[in-house]
């Protein structure tokens, strides 16, 4: 069963540039294979306000998503960047979705 994992992060709108500069550094770590890869999105229209970043990754199983979370928890590079970025957060949560295949 395929799983989509989403990190939803609402940040201070006045700190958008600083937040996104740090997010670019996370993307570099993904490109280097240090962190799991995902797509980043910001809402143009919808429920979430424009000062929301959504990171979304697709995994072959719930175990695969859990493994990705473990990488994030144990990565010193991730921890270092996260500590710089978290002061800009207003709210954050993780969502898991089962991908249906009919």
Calculate the CA dihedral of residues 81, 67, 100, 92 and round it to 10 degrees: -30
pTM to 2 decimals?
Answer: 0.92
Structure tokens at 22: 């740090």
- CATH architecture designation of domain 3-98: 2-Layer Sandwich (3.30)
Q: Where are the domains of the chain?
A: 3-98
pLDDT in tens, 24-47: 999 999 999 999 999 999 999 999
Tracing tokens 């540039």 back to the chain, one arrives at 17
The mean pLDDT of 85-98, rounded to a whole number, is 97
């Amino acid at each position: 069963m395929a799983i989509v994992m989403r990190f939803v992060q609402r940040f201070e709108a006045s700190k958008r540039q600083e937040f996104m500069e740090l997010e670019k550094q996370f993307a570099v770590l993904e490109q280097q294979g240090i962190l799991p890869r995902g797509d980043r999105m910001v809402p143009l229209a919808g429920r979430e306000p424009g000062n929301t970043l959504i990171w979304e990754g697709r995994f072959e199983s719930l175990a695969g998503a859990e493994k990705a979370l473990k990488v994030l928890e144990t990565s010193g590079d991730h921890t270092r960047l996260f500590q710089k970025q978290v002061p800009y957060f207003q709210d954050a949560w993780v969502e898991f979705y089962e991908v249906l295949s009919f």
